[in-house]
């Protein structure tokens, strides 16, 4: 209905259940009908402060499939790398392109870009959120389980950007979300509080359970992410120790429902947060999940910059 037209997508906290449901339905339509001219002549600038495989390729291919174009901009190469401000970059790019995707180490910089851009800004991962990932995650869960309401998703590991966005969307869709993280790696308390308020409103729940074996009881989905995110490399030795009891392995999978699905945003480190036997095994749906990034992002792009 055009309610999202012109809006930024920084966090799903700025959206409601009806809008998210509409995006999921449109993503389903686009998965079945990938090619169109629905974004003919539209350009997306993609600014990356860090590495990417999925986000970069899925946004670019998605734009082209809809008749548009995408530009890959690394901050090392553009003038931002030599000190041009984010605000000026936002003002300049707004004169050329129809939307900007930004992957940054700092939510503050993302907000600054959005504030000074006159075109929609899409969060391609920041230190706090990964909204495009979470939309693909719940889209995949809907495909796998046939529903979202009441589905139990257990996130094991670091209470990071991926966990935060999943908590928010799970709560908004009435799911039962459990986060199992060791001391010092719990999700942000404010985001936990906001997710719990959403869960209350939509009939779901968001629970913190430090013991992973207790957490996965009756799980429909087990989810994990890397123990060391991009930018945390100097902590990786400490993190290997701190997370050692939080590996998703066959013993843990066997404590969940027999038809439990395994999800991971990727890239994965086999032998760390997940064993090869789990991620390459029959419960895993990680490549379906990765493909779905493109379908949901195309729905987002159509919603915020599509021709009306
Ligand atoms: N999951 C994800 O965002 O992957 P990339 O870092 O490869 O984009
Ligand atoms: N938590 C990870 C996700 C990568 C897609 C990171 O921020 O590096």
Residue ranges per structural domain of the chain:
12-129+293-305, 131-289
Binding site feature residues for L-ornithine: 161, 225, 229-230
Mean pLDDT for 246-258 is 98
pLDDT band at 282 (very low <50, low <70, confident <90, very high): very high
Nearest-angstrom CA–CA distance, 246 and 143 = 27
Summarize pLDDT for 114-139 with one digit per residue, the tens: 999 999 999 999 999 999 999 999 99
Residue 160 CA, closest ligand 2 atom number = 1
Statement: residue 208 has pLDDT above 60? yes
- Cα 129 to averaged position of ligand 2 atoms, centre (Å): 10
- Cα 266 to averaged position of ligand 1 atoms, centre (Å): 6
> Is it true that 12-129+293-305 and 131-289 share their CATH fold?
yes
Closest by CA to 134, choosing from 269, 11, 280, is: 11
SS3 255: coil
Fold observed for domain 12-129+293-305: Rossmann fold (3.40.50)
Please calculate the CA angle 149-152-155 and round it to the nearest 5 degrees: 125
Statement: residue 45 has pLDDT above 90? yes
pLDDT at residue number 2: 73
The model carries a pTM of 0.98
Which ligand neighbours the alpha carbon of 134 most closely?
1
Closest Cα to atom 3, ligand 1: which residue? Answer: 55
Binding site feature residues for carbamoyl phosphate: 52-55, 79, 103, 130-133, 265-266, 293
pLDDT band at 1 (very low <50, low <70, confident <90, very high): low
- For domain 131-289, the CATH class is alpha beta
CA-to-CA dists, residue 7 to 18, 141, 301, angstroms: 15, 26, 10
């Amino acid at each position: 209905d055009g309610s999202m037209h012109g809006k930024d997508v920084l966090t799903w906290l700025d959206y409601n259940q009806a809008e998210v449901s509409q995006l999921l339905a449109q993503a389903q339509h686009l998965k079945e009908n990938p090619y169109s001219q629905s974004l003919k002549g539209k350009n997306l600038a993609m600014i990356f402060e860090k590495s990417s495989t999925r986000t970069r390729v899925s946004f670019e291919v998605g734009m082209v499939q809809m008749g548009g174009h995408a530009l890959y901009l690394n901050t090392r190469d553009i003038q931002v790398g030599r000190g041009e401000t984010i605000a000026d970059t936002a003002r300049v790019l707004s004169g050329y392109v129809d939307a900007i995707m930004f992957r940054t180490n700092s939510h503050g910089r993302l907000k600054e870009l959005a504030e000074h851009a006159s075109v929609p800004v899409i969060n391609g991962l920041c230190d706090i959120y990964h909204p495009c990932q979470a939309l693909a995650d719940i889209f995949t869960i809907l495909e796998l389980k046939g529903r979202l309401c009441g589905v139990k998703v257990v996130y094991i590991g670091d209470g990071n950007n991926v966990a935060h966005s999943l908590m928010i969307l799970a709560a908004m869709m009435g799911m039962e979300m459990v986060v199992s993280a060791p001391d010092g790696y719990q999700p942000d308390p404010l985001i936990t509080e906001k997710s719990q308020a959403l869960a209350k409103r939509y009939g779901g729940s968001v629970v913190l359970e430090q013991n992973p074996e207790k957490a996965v009881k009756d799980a429909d989905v087990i989810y994990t992410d890397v123990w060391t995110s991009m930018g945390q490399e100097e902590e990786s030795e400490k993190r290997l120790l701190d997370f050692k009891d939080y590996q998703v392995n066959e013993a843990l999978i066997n404590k969940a429902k027999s038809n439990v699905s395994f999800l991971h945003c990727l890239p994965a480190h086999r032998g760390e947060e997940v064993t090869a036997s789990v991620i390459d095994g029959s419960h895993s749906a990680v490549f379906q999940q990765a493909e779905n990034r493109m379908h949901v992002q195309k729905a987002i792009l159509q919603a915020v910059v599509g021709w009306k």
